[in-house]
């Protein structure tokens, strides 16, 4: 049993902003009040700091095999990196291979995560194969705390489901309380364009973007929203990269539909113009949907401010540029001479909070409440973790970050903790960063010291969604 009293902080939740002390005991928040008179094993002075709920990154891919390569962070290195940036929960994706029962996929992912994770983690299920006889498996997963499913309209060779299967799965989740996430790009058209470009000798990394025009994302987003409307279920569109897809979400929400959208730091900060020259350095920017022309960035920021988009997650899925980094095999280099062989994914789990704070609060004048909502609270609600996670309240897990608005931090691969040899935001200085991070009541990061050990994170059996 240990207790911590956090004094003099400015507490921020999605809805409140006030000065108070927070008393934490046995992993949870026990008391909140003005000038608390309690005995604690440790007193932390949070004067000048924001006291915020730990970040929730609801979209990560640790140790994900994508065919020829496996993402370079495992559940230890990836969660250590997350914690350094103020994220105390991730929701990763157990991924069903075709022909594999979903339960077996979940067991595989849990076996990877359990000995290694330093922060709490949940699992979504990526469904790539759904014969009718496996529909009851979805119900069983919901009962076991895997309450969200992700379907793909892209990657015909590995993951794509046809519209009827997506619709069938949506109807089933309407019955069992599950929540539907969609990767929305038109995979058939993309595959055709990839082959066409390669046949024309257009093999450099920048052709990745040209093989996935924004219309392929806008069309698929429109389509899956229509399927969800017919199935009478809410739908969450992951990694919205273009204004076209965002506008489909906004239009659906304006009609009153329970449609939600996530974007990622790479779509808010990076642009096609950064890799348009065709050099292989552009492989750093290859992810799907692609990093688009700069003109898409500001509409995405505005959509976040206006609640047309609701969350920022990372889709963290790092691959190294050079063979041999920390003993890792060839990754991005697999695509030299053929952009379609570049493993898709970028790192971000460590810097998400930095980047949203900088771009949202510092540069665009968002309230701290909106920052907390976008980085933590809404994900907790949609993915069945609220109010255990995503807020600071009596009874909630003591996942607490002291965010120092005066702690400048320069992002660099030289100092980051992600196991990857580059950082797409290299050299960017942000005005604020965490000074202390607590996971279920234990201080896991303080100053420059990391204090957690592998296996300390717990698997989260999630409840069913609550609409924010």
Which residues in this chain contact Zn ion in the complex, by CB under 5 A?
A: 315
Sign of CA dihedral 163, 168, 174, 179: negative
Q: Which residues contact 463 (CB under 8 A, 6 or more apart)?
A: 145, 147, 384, 385
Beta carbons of 176 and 144 less than 8 angstroms apart: no
In the complex, what is the shortest distance from the CB of residue 93 to Zn ion, in angstroms, rounded to a whole number? 6
Whether 409 and 378 have beta carbons less than 8 Å apart is answered as: no
SS3 31: strand
Which C-beta is closer to Zn ion: that of 346 or that of 361?
346
Rounded to a whole number of angstroms, the minimum distance from the CB of residue 348 to Zn ion is 11
Q: Using a CB cutoff of 8 Å and minimum separation of 24, what contacts does 154-159 make?
A: 154/183, 154/184, 154/185, 154/186, 154/187, 154/190, 154/220, 154/288, 155/187, 156/187, 156/188, 156/191, 158/67, 158/98, 158/128, 159/126, 159/128, 159/183
Q: Which residue is it, tokens 């933590």? A: 376
Q: Are 287 and 266 in contact, with CB atoms under 8 Å apart?
A: yes
C-beta of 287 vs 368, nearer to Zn ion: 287
Closest CA to 403 of 49, 15, 83: 49
Cα–Cα distance, 124 to 150 (Å, whole number):
7
Q: Rank residues 13 and 221 by Cβ distance to Zn ion and give the closer one.
A: 221
Please say which residue, 315 or 397, places its beta carbon nearer to Zn ion: 315
- For 101, 146, 213, 390, 421, the CA distances from 283, given in Å and listed in that order, are 34, 33, 18, 34, 13
Nearest distance in Å: CB 160, Zn ion: 14
Query: How deeply is 226 buried, as exposed, middle or buried, from its count of CB atoms within 10 A (0-12, 13-18, 19+)?
Result: middle
Closest CA relative to residue 314, chosen from 269, 359, 263: 263
CB of 59 to Zn ion, least distance (A): 6
CB of 356 to Zn ion, least distance (A): 18
CB of 238 to Zn ion, least distance (A): 6
Residue environment code for 192-222, b if the CB has 16+ CB neighbours within 10 A, otherwise e: ebbeebbeeeebbbbbbbebbbbebbbbbbb
Q: Which two tokens stand for residue 280?
A: 């292989």
Q: How far is the CB of 299 from Zn ion (least distance, A)?
A: 22
Q: Which is nearer to Zn ion, 179 or 366 (CB)?
A: 179
- Closer of 36 and 66 to Zn ion (Cβ): 66
Residue of minimal Cβ distance to Zn ion: 315
Q: Which of 57, 136, 137 is nearest to 96 (CA)?
A: 137
Name the residue nearer to Zn ion (CB basis): 73 or 315: 315
Question: In this complex, which beta carbon is closest to Zn ion, that of residue 152 or of residue 357?
Answer: 152
| CB 24, CB 438: distance < 8 Å | yes
CB of 104 to Zn ion, least distance (A): 21
Among all chains, which residue has been given the structure tokens 């949070």? Answer: 46
Cβ proximity to Zn ion, 4 vs 161, nearer residue: 161
Closest to Zn ion by CB, 171 vs 340, is 340
**Angle formed by the axes of helices 163-176 and 214-231, to 10°?**
40
Residue closer to Zn ion, measured from CB, 172 or 316: 316
Shortest CB 125 distance to Zn ion, Å? 13
Nearest CB to Zn ion, comparing residues 25 and 315: 315
Could you give the angle at which helices 243-254 and 214-231 cross, rounded to 10 degrees?
Answer: 20
Structural tokens at position 210: 């040209």
Half-sphere exposure of 70 (CA within 13 A, CB side): 9
CB of 60 vs Zn ion, minimal distance in Å = 8
Task: Please state the closest distance from residue 284 (CB atom) to Zn ion, in A.
Answer: 18
What is the C-alpha separation between 258 and 253, in angstroms, rounded? 7
**Beta strands 259-263; 311-312: pairing state:** parallel
* Nearest distance, CB of residue 64 and Zn ion, angstroms: 8
């Amino acid at each position: 049993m240990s207790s911590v009293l956090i004094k003099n902080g400015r507490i921020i939740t999605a809805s409140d902003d006030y000065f108070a002390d927070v008393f934490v005991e046995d992993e949870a928040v026990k008391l909140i009040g003005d000038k608390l008179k309690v005995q604690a094993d440790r007193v932390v002075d949070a004067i000048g700091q924001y006291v915020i709920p730990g970040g929730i990154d609801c979209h990560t891919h640790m140790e994900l095999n994508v065919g020829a390569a496996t993402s370079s962070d495992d559940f230890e290195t990836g969660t250590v990196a997350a914690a350094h940036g103020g994220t105390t929960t991730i929701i990763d994706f157990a991924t069903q291979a075709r022909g594999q029962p979903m339960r077996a996929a979940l067991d595989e992912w849990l076996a990877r995560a359990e000995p290694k994770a330093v922060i709490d983690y949940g699992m979504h299920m990526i469904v790539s194969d759904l014969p009718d006889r496996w529909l009851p498996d979805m119900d069983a997963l919901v009962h076991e705390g895997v309450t969200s499913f992700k379907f793909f309209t892209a990657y015909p060779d590995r993951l794509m489901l046809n519209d009827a299967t997506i619709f069938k799965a949506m109807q089933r989740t309407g019955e069992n309380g599950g929540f539907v996430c969609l990767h929305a790009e038109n995979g058939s058209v993309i595959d055709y364009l990839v082959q066409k470009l390669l046949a024309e000798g257009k093999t450099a990394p920048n052709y990745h973007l040209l093989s996935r025009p924004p219309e392929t994302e806008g069309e698929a987003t429109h389509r899956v929203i229509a399927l969800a409307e017919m199935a009478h279920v809410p739908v969450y569109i992951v990694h919205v990269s273009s204004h076209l897809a965002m506008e489909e979400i906004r239009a659906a929400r304006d009609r009153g539909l329970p449609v939600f959208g996530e974007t990622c730091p790479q779509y808010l900060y990076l642009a096609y113009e950064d890799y348009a020259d065709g050099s292989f350095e552009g492989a750093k920017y290859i992810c799907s949907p692609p990093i688009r022309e700069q003109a898409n960035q500001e509409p995405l920021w505005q959509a976040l401010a206006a609640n047309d988009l609701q969350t920022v997650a990372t889709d963290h899925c790092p691959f190294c540029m050079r063979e041999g980094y920390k003993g890792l095999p060839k990754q991005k280099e697999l695509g030299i001479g053929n952009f379609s062989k570049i493993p898709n994914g970028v790192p971000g789990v460590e810097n998400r909070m930095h980047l949203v704070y900088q771009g949202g609060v510092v540069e665009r004048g968002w309230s701290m409440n909106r920052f907390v909502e976008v980085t933590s609270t809404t994900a907790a609600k949609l993915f069945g973790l609220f109010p255990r996670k995503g807020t600071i309240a009596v009874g909630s897990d003591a996942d607490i970050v002291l965010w120092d608005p005066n702690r400048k931090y320069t992002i660099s691969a030289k100092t980051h903790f992600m196991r990857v040899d580059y950082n797409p935001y290299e050299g960017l200085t942000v005005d604020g960063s965490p000074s202390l991070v607590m996971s279920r009541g234990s201080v896991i990061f303080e100053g420059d010291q990391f204090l957690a050990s592998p296996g300390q994170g717990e698997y989260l059996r999630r409840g069913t969604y609550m609409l924010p």
